């Protein structure tokens, strides 16, 4: 039943409510498509077919009672394999947790399940989410459906590829430096990272452990409305997350139809100096017409970063490294020796661990001085403009490596960049806690998707959503999925 594959989640939810579509029928269609299509993209690494069908049958019975239904009732989703779902294997893409089955779900999964969503499986990610590419020794690379020889990006690459390939209507991911937005761009889907704390994260034993870098959970979806539907389920305060925010004063659904008249948009082609390939830059620049057509004033600006972009990439790696060493140490104290699997761990991850063991406590605290300088420089722009828009990534294609250790480019447009994350123009917003999204902007001459990054001052998610929705109205991208489907049919 491939006719359901690219239907928006919002439409599917309406069909279920009107009893025109059974949750069992929908979940069965998704599982069938996963069985046929997943081997080509490697988006799902664990599929829980029996559990999903059982949940679909329960959902169908609830529909027939006529009782009020939660917002995601009967909708299939994928959940990133870093995030626990009770009773479903969660490996974190590591041999150390190859057979780990958590007894409790994380807050994101809890809220999705409570809203009626049905988890059909876990999606691929790099080992412990340590890079912006999805590849690992345990499961191998995930490909973007637009080029099966190219990577989906990371670290929520499995979720992005699953959505773009039409395996599920939408999927959950997380973002510590671009992990929603990078695969969203490379797979041609919408991704939204809220203000830090908008979506709670309950972490134990260290409730304060995700501050550096700032980790956010959010949706990957084929339409802006679908992403907003999931985001509003995920968002909201939680007493056990010390960084969680109160309820937002405005529903994001109210921003979906808001015209951009009077909005001032700062366009930065390089976000302060990042190298960008000409094909990517051209697609992003051309897409700005959609914002202008909807009433926005778009002005090209020179974002003045306080340091060269390489220093912010290095800062992200140092902070990530310390957090990973903390994780390994905590696991060892709990009786799990992750490094016993060293021979089957990514060399790039082991390098991070070596880096993370070096800084002193004072060195680590002083890292926030550079973050403060960055905050001030970006707030200078937000003082004059409602949004900053830019490319999401420097490149549109990352070739899958042959040995399950895929990384990005070491050089872009003549500049050296770090191959793990240095080609991503995303981590700056994690450092300062601002909301940011990727919205499909168009395609390169080779047919690869390119995303436009849309960012706002903290708490201004409605501005981000309004701009992304305007892009979708003025330059709809659904034809890209239709072309993808026709190509798959021709390929057999």
Q: Which two tokens stand for residue 200?
A: 């709670």
Residues facing residue 63 across a β-bridge: none
**C-alpha–C-alpha distance, residues 442 and 89, integer Å:** 36
- In whole angstroms, give the CA distance from residue 134 to residue 406: 8
Whether the Cβ atoms of residue 330 and residue 439 lie closer than 8 Å to each other:
no
The label of the residue with tokens 């069992």 reads 24
* Of 179, 244, 390, 434, catalytic: 179
- Closest C-alpha to 393, from 360, 417, 374: 417
Q: In the 8-state DSSP scheme, what is residue 127? A: G
CA–CA distance, 94 with 88 (Å, rounded to integer): 15
- Sign of the CA dihedral with 390 first, then 394, 397, and 400 last: negative
CB 229 within 8 A of CB 201: no
Find residue 172's DSSP bridge partners: 79, 219
Residue with tokens 């010390």: 242
Q: What are the beta bridge partners of residue 114?
A: none
Number of alpha helices (DSSP H) and beta strands (DSSP E) in the chain: 14, 15
Residue of 143, 155, 244, 390 marked catalytic: 155
Q: Which residues contact 137 (CB under 8 A, 6 or more apart)?
A: 95, 127, 344, 345, 346, 404, 405
Residue 244 bears catalytic tag:
no
DSSP state of 174: E
Nearest 5°: the CA angle 193, 257, 236 is 35
Q: Is 155 a catalytic residue?
A: yes
131 catalytically annotated: no
Residues forming the active site: 80, 155, 179
């Amino acid at each position: 039943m491939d006719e359901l594959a690219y239907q928006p989640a919002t439409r599917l939810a309406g069909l279920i409510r009107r009893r025109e579509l059974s949750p069992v029928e929908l979940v069965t269609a998704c599982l069938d498509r996963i069985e046929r299509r997943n081997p080509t993209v490697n988006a799902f690494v664990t599929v829980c077919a029996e559990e999903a069908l059982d949940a679909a049958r329960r959902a169908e019975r609830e529909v027939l009672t006529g009782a009020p239904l939660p917002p995601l009732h009967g909708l299939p989703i994928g959940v990133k394999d870093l995030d626990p779902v009770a009773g479903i294997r969660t490996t974190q893409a590591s041999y150390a947790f190859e057979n780990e089955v958590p007894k409790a779900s994380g807050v994101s999964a809890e809220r999705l399940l409570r809203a009626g969503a049905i988890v059909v499986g876990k999606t691929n990610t790099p080992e412990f989410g340590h890079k912006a590419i999805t590849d690992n020794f345990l499961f191998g690379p995930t490909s973007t459906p637009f080029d099966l020889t190219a990577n989906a990006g990371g670290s929520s690459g499995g979720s992005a590829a699953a959505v773009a390939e039409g395996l599920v209507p939408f999927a959950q991911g997380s973002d510590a430096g671009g992990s929603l937005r990078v695969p969203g761009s490379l797979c041609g889907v919408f991704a939204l990272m809220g203000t830090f704390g908008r979506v709670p994260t309950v972490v134990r034993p260290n409730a304060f452990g995700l501050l550096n870098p700032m980790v956010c959970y959010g949706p990957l979806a084929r339409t802006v409305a679908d992403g907003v539907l999931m985001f509003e389920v995920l968002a909201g305060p939680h007493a056990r997350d010390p960084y969680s925010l109160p309820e937002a004063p405005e529903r994001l659904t109210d921003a979906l139809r808001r015209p951009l008249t009077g909005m001032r948009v700062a366009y930065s082609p390089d976000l302060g100096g990042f190298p960008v390939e000409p094909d990517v830059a051209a697609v992003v620049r051309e897409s700005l017409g959609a914002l202008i057509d909807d009433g926005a004033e778009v002005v090209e600006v020179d974002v003045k970063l306080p340091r060269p972009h390489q220093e912010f990439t290095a800062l992200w790696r140092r902070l990530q490294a310390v957090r990973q060493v903390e994780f390994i140490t905590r696991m060892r104290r709990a009786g799990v020796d992750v490094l016993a699997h060293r021979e089957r761990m990514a060399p790039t991850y082991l390098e991070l661990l070596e880096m993370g063991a070096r800084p002193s406590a004072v060195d680590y605290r002083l890292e926030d001085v550079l973050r403060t300088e960055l905050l001030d420089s970006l707030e200078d722009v937000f003082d004059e403009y409602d949004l900053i828009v830019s490319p999401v990534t420097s490149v549109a294609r990352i070739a899958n490596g042959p040995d399950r250790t895929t990384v990005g480019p070491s050089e872009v447009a003549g500049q050296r960049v770090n191959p793990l994350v240095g080609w991503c123009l995303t981590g700056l917003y994690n450092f300062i806690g601002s909301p940011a999204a990727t919205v499909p902007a168009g395609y390169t001459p080779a047919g690869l998707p390119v995303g436009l990054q849309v960012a706002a001052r903290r708490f201004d998610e409605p501005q981000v959503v309004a701009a992304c929705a305007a892009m979708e109205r003025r330059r709809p991208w659904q034809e890209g999925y239709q072309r993808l489907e026709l190509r798959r049919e021709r390929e057999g």
